[in-house]
Structure 1
Amino acid sequence: MDTTVRGGTELLWSALGGDPALLDRIVYGGPSGLLPARLPVMDLARATVAVCSLAAVEHAGLAGPARVDDGAVATAFVSERHLRVDGRAPVNFAPLSRFWRAADGWVRTHANYPHHKAALLAALGAADSVEAVAAAIAGRPAVEIETLVYGAGGLAVALRTPEEWAATEQGREVAVRPLLTRERLDEAAPRARAGRRLRVLDLTRVIAGPVATRTLALLGADVLRIDPPDNPELPDQHADTDFGKRTAALDLDRPSDRRTFDELLDAADVLVTGYRPGALDRFGLHRPGLVVARLSAWGDYGPWAGRRGFDSLVQAATGIATVEGSAAEPGALPAQALDHGTGYLLAAAVLRSLTEQDREGGSRLVRLALAQTGHWLTGTLPLPHGLEGMGGTPVEPGRYVTETDGPLGRLRHALSPVAYEGGPTAWSRPPGPQGGDEPAWLTD
């Protein structure tokens, strides 16, 4: 086996505190040459899925093996592109989510959500059209646009080279931080869960967090996703990432909904959050014996800690889009690999925390950030051997997708790449109407 394949997995498993002797339980296979890029995207994808599968084997107390099929991995990393809802292809990026020419370079915006679009247009003083936004951005420096839009509650970043990112204060902070952090907070006993399913309270959005909780749902957890009633998930994101889950709507500023939420949290085993650092602190989310997994875009440190962010923005800010682009225009990774990779790594961190908690007790906290995963991709993983430009083979879904009928219609969707001997092969339920479930735990 190529040492690069094993090397990335070893590094991640060590970061997760795993026993290195268990690495021999991973079996690799499948087609090669997938997710072609200048950066080692396939190595990142394979390694994050490998440690997630191995953490599942360990937590289930099974011998394995954990099977990593490159075809399944590559297909899952672009699951949003394979989705079909009654034959309709999804809308993955809105017209105003794209690169724009600024006076001195490029700017990347994200305006998929209505409130982010409104903030972008208000900051620029522009009408709702590609032409109007292009004109508003063209005459200003890229960093000025970045500051202006973020100040208005929108999302925009200036395109940077890797060197320019490394010279920023946020880039320096990211460079000296670990890929992920794992903490034992106290000596509390783990939540008693004998004879019932693991309970996961899901406060995440978009891709990375939902991929993590979708994976935990595959493995048998009762995952309950909570969204605010006035800000639901985008319908196609929901159809892709909410397999196996139930979803409910709660307004945490409403006393009755807050009481319901507190009762859910009191009985949960795991809480996964994907909002900006500090955004949920006022709700007092700590509970003894809980495993908390916190995901952010930029990390909870440095001047960008409070900023919103998405995979495409992190690629632009950190230099990835420059590396993958050309002299004429910026590029992108062949998948939203920071999102998907961080999602599987987050699920692995939750499973490892539960395994350690079962042995030693203690409330647990794990933290990951898309920018940290990007730093690992660009600075730790070795570049693909002999790869020139963008050569390689595009992923062909083949046996790695399936169709499922449910409340949203007939869904064509990618299968999970997390697989092991004796493990599940499909989710227990397709996604239902958003917010259509009772905010209560299942009774086993």
Structure 2
Amino acid sequence: MLGLPPDHPQLNTADREEIVKFFANEVAKYDANWLDTTANEVYRQAGTICYTPEEFAQTEQGKAIKLQGLWITEAVNTEKLPVVPWPALKDQNLRPLAGVKIVDISRVIAAPTITRILASLGATVIRVSNSIEPDYGIILLETNLGKYDMRINLKTPEGKKELAHILAEADVILDGYRPGCMERLGFGRQAVHEMALNRGKGIVYARENCYGWAGPWSPRSGWQQISDCVTGVSWLQGKFLGLDEPVVPLLPNSDYQTGVIGAIAIVQALHKRAHQGGSYNVDVSLNQFNIWYLDLGQYTDTQRADIMVKYPDLHLHHTDEMHFLVKKTIAVMLKSVGKIFGSQNFETINSPKWDVEHTGEPITMTILAPIITFDETKLNYNVGSCPPGSYDSSIGWNVV
């Protein structure tokens, strides 16, 4: 796209600042609008101009989604499909979603977080992965908690048959891929709702994307950093830090916040199915969260000063990619609010599937404990985390 060679021997011994400067100088040779259009529309790569909130509001995309709520729910075939009672499954921890079956076709953070939360509420989650699209390994440790990961190639007749067999018993399907991908594979909303009609039992079809589900940019791919920059959140973060540059905020993280929103929306849709019948569509996006977040308003100058005085060593810049951002932020948090990393806020779970070298040694993961507790209900996962393809896809729900 930029005409650069794939290898740069002169950078092999360069430090981070030299590498950043080299590529910044190359990118500066091009117009921002050209970069945006070429990356997204020609090469189909995620990227965006960093807008202010006011600038984004004036784009066609901003206008198209400005009135959308945190999530969108649509009823389908309510007159044709009966109510579906909650599963009569005895769960010793009294979790509300015990017996609910969810198919997770997503990757990276926001969408997988939706189903991870639902798994902690008792749902059985089959995550469909493949050997073509790479997974973000360190994130997968967390996002695959409570899930049964099965590798299925949806571009083959055999793979399509396996997924159709799994969907036949599913209560929820989550699509976290680029808009239109599942339609091309034969498992878009229309096809799945037709399947639900044929079986006589409604299904919740949830989707998560970056840009929102209306407007000219809705088909584009994108991640947390893209949404934060396109909606103007990053410019406000930089301003908060006293800078004249955008900075991607690590907290609150729009990926994880969208995960929480998606989980709430799906539970609501399941509740409607249990009382009104029908199938349901649920749409969430990173941009929907960020627009809502911006509408909450900003800290006053006094509040900002009080916060910044607690973190004198926090020095962030627009060149800080996510790994560097995490490293800097955690280092400062350990100094200023180290108690939140205390053992009382964590618990352990056995995850033997991560014994990829088959040593037979126990694999114990330390994970964040539930942030709320109840007198009787205990939020936990049916199984630990696992790598892609840890379970045999041919057995489907018999994996439980």
Verify same fold: TM over 0.5. yes
Which segment drifts farther, 144-153 or 364-373? 144-153
Aligned 8 A contact 2:69 2:288 in 1 = yes
2:214 maps to 301
- Give the structure 2 partner of residue 137 of structure 1: 27
Shift of 1:172: 1.1
Verify the 8 A CA contact 2:56 2:62 in the aligned structure 1. yes
Choose which of 136, 140, 148 in structure 2 pairs with 1:234.
136
Q: Does 1:146 align with 2:36?
A: yes
How far is 1:387 from its partner? 1.8
TM-score (norm 1): 0.67
Unmatched tracts of structure 2, length 5 or more: 9-18, 90-97, 197-201, 312-332, 355-362
Report the CA distance between 1:335 and its aligned residue. 2.2
1:180 and 2:71 matched: yes
Give the direction of change, closer, same or farther, for the CA distance of 1:142–1:415 in structure 2 (3 Å limit): farther
Structure 1 position 281, deviation (Å): 1.4
The aligned runs of 1:209-220 (5 Å cut-off) are 209-220=111-122
| TM-score, normalised via structure 2 length | 0.74
What code does the residue aligned with 1:347 have? Answer: A
- Equivalent of residue 284 in structure 2, options 355, 359, 368: 368
Matched residues in 1 for 2:61 and 2:147: separation? 35
Cα distance in 1 for residues equivalent to 2:279 and 2:165: 18
Equivalent of 1:200, from 102, 113, 120? 102
1:349 aligns with 2:265: yes
Equivalence map 1:397-412=2 (5 Å): 397-398=341-342, 399-407=344-352, 408=354, 409-412=363-366
Q: CA deviation at 1:143?
A: 2.3
Matching of residue 245 in structure 1 with residue 147 in structure 2: yes
Q: Which of the numbers 48, 51, 59 marks the counterpart of 1:168?
A: 59
- The 3 A distance-change label for structure 1 pair 210 and 405 is same
Greater shift in the superposed pair: 173-182 or 152-161: 173-182
Q: Give the distance between the partners of 2:148 and 2:248, measured in 1 at CA.
A: 33
Partner of 1:189: 82
Q: Please state how far the C-alpha of 1:341 moved relative to its aligned partner.
A: 1.0
Inter-partner Cα distance in structure 1 for 2:140 and 2:43 = 27
Question: Which one-letter code corresponds to 2:82 in the other structure?
Answer: A
Provide the C-alpha distance between the structure 2 equivalents of 1:126 and 1:285, rounded to a whole number of angstroms: 45
User: Aligned to 1:318, which of 228, 231, 235?
Assistant: 231
Give, in whole Å, the separation in 1 of the partners of 2:114 and 2:101.
14
Alignment of 1:364-443 (within 5 A): 364-379=280-295, 381-384=296-299, 386-389=302-305, 390-391=307-308, 394=333, 396-398=340-342, 399-407=344-352, 408=354, 409-417=363-371, 419-439=373-393, 440-442=396-398
Deviation at 1:177?
2.3
2:358 maps to: none
Q: Give the SS at the match of 1:442.
A: helix
Secondary structure class of the residue paired with 2:61: helix
CA distance in 2, matches of 1:259, 1:432: 24
Count of aligned residue pairs for this structure pair: 322
Q: Secondary structure in 2 aligned to 1:158?
A: coil
Provide Cα deviations, 1:133-191, integer angstroms capped at 9, x if missing partner.
Answer: 33331211222212221121212111111111111111111213233211110121255
Tell me the secondary structure at the aligned position of residue 239 of structure 1.
helix
The 2-side partners of 1:204 and 1:217 are apart by: 15
**Greater Rg by CA:** 2
SS of the aligned residue for 2:293 comes to helix
Partner of 1:285: 192
CA offsets 1:370-411 (integer angstroms, 9 cap, x no match): 1011000002x2434652255367452222223434232443
Residues in 1 aligned to 2:399 and 2:126: alpha-carbon distance in whole angstroms: 13
Cα distance change on mapping 1:426 and 1:179 into 2, 3 Å? closer
Q: Name the Cα RMSD after superposition.
A: 2.3
Residues in 1 aligned to 2:231 and 2:214: alpha-carbon distance in whole angstroms = 16
- Offset, 1:412: 2.8
Task: Note if contact 1:201-1:225 (Cα within 8 Å) is conserved in structure 2.
Answer: yes
